[in-house]
Amino acid sequence: MVRGGFVLSSLEMADKLVIWGAGGHALVVADIIRLVGKYEIAGFLDDINPQRRGTDFLGCRVLGGREVLGELKRRAIDHVIFAFGDSEMRLELSRLVFDMGYRLVTAVHPRAILAPDIRINAGTVVAAGAVINPGTVIGSNVIVNTSASIDHNCFIQDGAHIGPGTRLAGGVLVKRGAEVGIGSVIARSVTVGANARVGAGAVVLDDIPDEVVAYGVPARVVRKV
């Protein structure tokens, strides 16, 4: 594209995006954003460590915390994606940025395998090697992490985290804010309750209630969240 006699690169024409988070998961999210090439990363937000403001991270700057959102909006940076694991906080902050007029970005790694009829809602991150099969619906602000496999007709509600290497059989329901730990296996038509935590390597054969921690082979409820 030519503007004012200058040839603009695709990056210069891209919408600007701020990534909220500046830790390990932000490495993954930034990698996806750069591979896809639709957005330019304007910087990162860190609400936990205010001393990081102005420091370098992944070739960009940590711009501050939520206190800079108004300033960023005035600079026409109005796209945001969350890059941290806390499910409850992702849902809470999504309401904050929505009320300020920000738009949530969805990030899908080019090497994820997606059936053509699935639905993925705003703010969700799908990492490399993930497989999502036909008839599945993924809510908003979900993480489908590296090499996770979600089979047909599953429903993953808002804010859930499907950990690396997990395996969900057909018809699984993962409710709002639930976290399914790395390497877990969820049997066919099982429900994982809202805000439940399934431990690493668990084999879940029966429904898991809301607000509990469960792990083991087979998985058993061990305590409330």
Using CA atoms, how far residue 136 sits from 90, 116, 140, 168, 174, in Å, is 22, 10, 13, 11, 11
Which amino acid type is present at position 9? S
Domain of 48 in residue numbering reads as: 2-104
Active site residue 152: yes
pLDDT digits (tens, 9 = 90+) for 40-81: 999 999 999 999 999 999 999 999 999 999 999 999 999 999
Catalytic annotation, pick one of 25, 79, 152, 161: 152
Model pTM? 0.91
Q: Per-residue b/e over 3-32, b at no fewer than 16 CB within 10 Å?
A: eeeeeeeeeeebeebbbbbbeebbebbbeb
**CA dihedral defined by 68, 50, 45, 54, rounded to 10 degrees?**
80
pLDDT at 7 over 80: no
User: How far apart (Å, rounded) are the C-alpha atoms in residues 36 and 111?
Assistant: 10
Name the percent of the chain lying above pLDDT 90.
93
Residue range 26-32: average pLDDT? 97
Same domain assignment for residues 113 and 208: yes
Same domain assignment for residues 45 and 128: no
pLDDT at 29 over 50: yes
Asked, for residue 140, whether it belongs to a domain, the answer is: yes
Residue range 116-126: average pLDDT? 97
- Looking up residue 35, the CATH number of its domain turns out to be 3.40.50.20
pLDDT digits (tens, 9 = 90+) for 169-179: 999 999 999 99
pLDDT at 38 over 80: yes
Same domain assignment for residues 85 and 158: no
Residue range 143-159: average pLDDT? 98
Asked, for residue 217, whether it belongs to a domain, the answer is: no
Six-digit token string for 179: 């976290």
Six-digit token string for 111: 């090497």
Whether the Cβ atoms of residue 134 and residue 151 lie closer than 8 Å to each other: no
Please state whether beta strands 15-20 and 212-215 pair in parallel, antiparallel, or not at all (unpaired): unpaired
Higher per-residue pLDDT: 7 or 34 = 34
Whether the Cβ atoms of residue 106 and residue 123 lie closer than 8 Å to each other: yes
Same domain assignment for residues 50 and 132: no
Higher per-residue pLDDT: 57 or 10 = 57
Per the structure, the count of domains in the chain is: 2
* 3-state DSSP percent of the chain in helix, strand and coil, to 5: 20, 35, 50
Using CA atoms, how far residue 125 sits from 129, 139, 219, in Å, is 12, 11, 27
Asked, for residue 147, whether it belongs to a domain, the answer is: yes
pLDDT at 99 over 80: yes
* Residue-averaged pLDDT of the chain: 93
Per-residue model confidence (pLDDT) at position 10: 41
Same domain assignment for residues 119 and 76: no
Q: Final residue of a domain: which of 104, 122, 145? A: 104
pLDDT band at 13 (very low <50, low <70, confident <90, very high): low
pLDDT digits (tens, 9 = 90+) for 174-201: 999 999 999 999 999 999 999 999 999 9
Q: Final residue of a domain: which of 49, 76, 104? A: 104
- Looking up residue 121, the CATH number of its domain turns out to be 2.160.10.10
